[in-house]
Amino acid sequence: MVTVHFHKKIEAFWERNKQYCDKNYYAVESLLNVLSAHRQGSAEHKITAAFNIEGNGSDVFGLWCYPSLMVYGSNFDDSVIAELISSIDPKSIDHASVTGHRDLVLKLLENVQKTKKTLSERNVYECIDTLLPAKIISGDMALATIEDIEVISRMSFEFQKEEYGDRLNKTYDEMREGVVMPGLMNQSFLKWTDQGKIHSILQYSISDNNAPSIMHFFTDPASRQLGYGYALLWNATNGLLSKFESCGLVAKRDYVPSNRAFEKVGYKKVYDWIKIIVESDHWSKE
């Protein structure tokens, strides 16, 4: 029998799902951020419901943090989806976002007759061991310094435009002062330089769980398909794996060139993530 269990306390929810979250850290990082903000008393991230779907081997769980519903898990069938749908007030999905495991979210919203807009689809990758280098690329990896701020700021802004398109939410100056400057100061930007030119950049972060993530991975358009991005990613990942058990990154689902480079380095896809905005007020359950 499949049932929904709503947790009375967030800590009970965490204890129930901690093992899954630890195993799939890079997939559930946004959920962990919401949990952390909620614990710190953030009004913007107030969790109103936390639940698990139990039965039939299900490991599905989720949070309501209005206006967001987050649902994760890997083991689910039609009975789990049906129980999840029946336990959620249809009106509560008005003007809200639904994020989490791609197949689970799509199944959940399959019979929702509302205006739905897919805002983002991401592949979640994890690397435990790098593959042998495919080829030797000229140039060197180094920490970016304050002297590089103009080049790094330009490349970071271009990265944001490619990544988010019309959802661009930072101006060039905001990227320069709010992202690049702090990153240069805490030495989290790496660059690949050849013949005096910066061809590729990335930034890395280390979570409170000691889980490194790579982000802001961008190669100058004029320098693409020359191996610079691959070389930077391979060397950066190899360096992080000398200190940590694994390294993760999240990338656009449909951007084949970067995804191919990740796999050549040794990254393996571990999760499909999606974010859908549900807008209208009509619901249908068959």
286 found inside a domain? no
C-alpha distances out from residue 86 to 82, 185, 189, 192, Å: 6, 50, 47, 52
245 C-beta neighbours (distance < 10 Å), count? 10
**What angle is formed at CA 156 by the lines to CA 224 and CA 199, rounded to 5 degrees?**
30
Q: Find, among 125, 130, 127, the residue nearest to 271 by Cα.
A: 125
- Residue 154 and residue 201 in one domain: yes
- Residue 168 and residue 241 in one domain: yes
In which residue ranges of the chain is pLDDT below 50? 282-286
Which residues is 272 bridged to in the sheet? 123
C-alpha distances out from residue 103 to 26, 51, 124, 272, Å: 17, 19, 14, 8
The SS3 of residue 82 is helix
Residues 6+ apart with CB under 8 A from 164: none
Report pLDDT for 91.
53
Report pLDDT for 54.
86
Q: Which two tokens stand for residue 54?
A: 């139990």
Total of domains in the chain: 2
**What angle is formed at CA 269 by the lines to CA 267 and CA 271, rounded to 5 degrees?**
140
- Residue 259 and residue 199 in one domain: yes
285 found inside a domain? no
> How far apart, in whole angstroms, are the C-alpha atoms of residue 255 and residue 240?
24
- Residue 229 and residue 159 in one domain: yes
- Residue 118 and residue 136 in one domain: no
Report pLDDT for 284.
46
Report pLDDT for 286.
43
172 found inside a domain? yes
> How far apart, in whole angstroms, are the C-alpha atoms of residue 143 and residue 27?
28
- Residue 150 and residue 234 in one domain: yes
Q: Find, among 252, 216, 214, 209, the residue nearest to 234 by Cα.
A: 214
The SS3 of residue 78 is helix
Which residues is 162 bridged to in the sheet? none
Residue 251: what residue type? A
Assign residue 159 the CATH number of its domain. Answer: 3.40.630.30
Report pLDDT for 145.
97
Q: Left, alpha or beta for 213 (phi > 0: left; psi -120 to 50: alpha)?
A: beta
255 found inside a domain? yes
Strand 212-219 and strand 247-252: the pairing is parallel
Contact 108, 71 (CB under 8 A): yes
283 found inside a domain? no
Type and span of the H or E element at 229: helix 228-241
Domain that holds residue 216: 130-265
Q: What is the DSSP letter of 93?
A: G
Report pLDDT for 282.
47
Report pLDDT for 187.
96
Tens-digit pLDDT profile for residues 239-279 = 999 999 999 999 988 887 788 899 999 999 999 999 999 88
